[in-house]
Amino acid sequence: MDYLSCHIEKEPFGVTDEGAPVYQYTLINDRGAMVKVINYGAIVRELWVPDRTGTLFDVVLGFDSLVDYERENSNYFFGAIMGRYANRIARGRFSIDGITYQLALNDGDRPNSLHGGVKGFHTRLFKAVPMKTPDGPSLVMTYFSHDGEEGFPGNLELTVIYTLTHRNELKIEYSATVDKPTVVNLTNHSYFNLSGDGTILDHELFINADHYTPVDENLIPTGEIAPVEGTPYDLRRFRKLKEAIEPLKNTKVRGFDINYVLNGKPGELKLAAVLRNPKTGIVLEMYTTEPGLQLYTGNFLNVKGKRGRYYEPYSGLCLEAQHFPDSPNHPNFPSTLLRPGEAYHQLTIYKFSTE
């Protein structure tokens, strides 16, 4: 593959409240697909892929300005890297080797730590280095999370590599090391809409999971790993989201906000989900090495987004590759403990095609 077929641009994207410059990086593959990433939160701002006629659609939600990301994104987390611990930890508390750590409780009226805390990775500035590779244009993003940041122990060195492959895949590779035992659970929190507008209610979704983790009133797993059979969470066959969400609309959550236990072996790349839009013909296949997938259907979206578009409930959905919520407090769940000398690694791929 000719490296010159990769196209990468860098441009200013504003200055943070603390006076730090932020940059946007545009990656374009040899098929014309394009992703725009800012180094604030390692946020995927735009992702343009072709529909069945070749017309490009931006299939992720986001904001137009850095000001909006700073003011609003701790409510929505559009496109950002979640860490040091994605999803929820009950009471914001966990123990390692007999030492108990307390995190901020930032999950609204629920007594949980959510997505790494008040100033999680979604608010941090990453160093970014663009690279041209045979696979497609890449952006190597690094962040150093110091010991005690948001209550987590240990200095953590994180690398996230975004690659827009020439096969129209957005490939996200994560790696991390620490100098003290800690917990690590990372994901990307992009909201997808394969119409580029409107809602995802006419989209069809398949999730490759026979089991899920039921939750209590605070959305914390009970510890049970239960079959999806006979529940509203059974998405082992394609279902239109309007119909799938309907039985959940009158619950407190008003839709899906649940962790699936993916079929296949943790650590091995496997098909996790397929999202398709009959209108545009765009199909999104998701593959991951992670054991879990959090499905969130944007149940409480209520904000003005890109290009003047207003995001209402169900304007997009998240397919978050992850370990399970509250894993540090459930010994029967796959462990999120990372010790010195060990390496965290995750590969997640969002592959786009048409039908």
Q: Which two tokens stand for residue 255?
A: 């839709």
State the pLDDT at residue 4.
55
Where would I find the H helices in the chain?
66-76, 241-245
Query: 27 and 156 in contact (C-beta within 8 Å)?
Result: no
> Looking at the 3D structure of the chain, how many domains does it have?
1
Q: What is the mean pLDDT of the chain?
A: 97
- Checking if the pLDDT of 2 tops 70, the result is no
Q: How far is CA 3 from CA 29, 30, 36, 165, 296, in A?
A: 10, 10, 19, 12, 37
Predicted confidence (pLDDT) per residue in 104-134, tens digit: 999 999 999 999 999 999 999 999 999 999 9
Predicted confidence (pLDDT) per residue in 232-256, tens digit: 999 999 999 999 999 999 999 999 9
State the pLDDT at residue 144.
98
Over residues 260-284, the mean pLDDT reads: 96
Q: Any idea of the CA torsion for 145, 149, 150, 156, to the nearest 10 degrees? A: 40
Q: Which two tokens stand for residue 351?
A: 């592959």
Amino acid at 311: Y
Nearest alpha-carbon partner for 83 in 39, 114, 104: 114
∠ at Cα 112 (109, 114), nearest 5°? Answer: 100
Over residues 328-332, the mean pLDDT reads: 98
Whether 189 is catalytic is: yes
Q: What pTM value is reported for the model? A: 0.97
Continuous segment of H or E residues that includes residue 33: none
> What does the alpha-carbon distance between residue 250 and residue 146 come to, in Å, rounded to a whole number?
42
Query: 47 and 27 in contact (C-beta within 8 Å)?
Result: no
3-state class percentages of the chain: helix first, strand second, coil last, to nearest 5: 10, 45, 45
Distance of CA 135 to the CA centre of its chain: 22
In percent, how much of the chain has pLDDT > 70? 99
Where would I find the H helices in 21-134?
66-76
Query: 283 and 354 in contact (C-beta within 8 Å)?
Result: yes
Q: Which of 122, 320, 323, 330 is catalytic?
A: 320
What's 69's domain CATH number? 2.70.98.10
Biggest alpha carbon–alpha carbon distance for the chain: 59
Query: 216 and 112 in contact (C-beta within 8 Å)?
Result: no
State the pLDDT at residue 1.
41
Residue 335 domain boundaries: 3-354
* Secondary structure class of 35 (helix, strand, coil): strand
At which residue do the structure tokens 């409510």 appear? 75
Predicted confidence (pLDDT) per residue in 274-321, tens digit: 999 999 999 999 999 999 999 999 999 999 999 999 999 999 999 999
- Checking if the pLDDT of 227 tops 80, the result is yes
Predicted confidence (pLDDT) per residue in 85-110, tens digit: 999 999 999 999 999 999 999 999 99
Question: CB pairs under 8 A, 24+ apart, for 48-53?
Answer: 49/168, 49/282, 49/352, 50/168, 50/282, 50/352, 50/354, 51/280, 51/281, 51/282, 51/354, 52/280, 52/281, 52/282, 52/354, 52/355
Q: Which of 115, 189, 203, 323 is catalytic?
A: 189
Predicted confidence (pLDDT) per residue in 165-217, tens digit: 999 999 999 999 999 999 999 999 999 999 989 999 999 999 999 999 999 99
Over residues 65-82, the mean pLDDT reads: 98
Compute the chain's Rg from CA coordinates: 19
Peptide bond into 84 cis (omega under 30): yes
Burial of 19 (0-12, 13-18, 19+ CB in 10 A): exposed
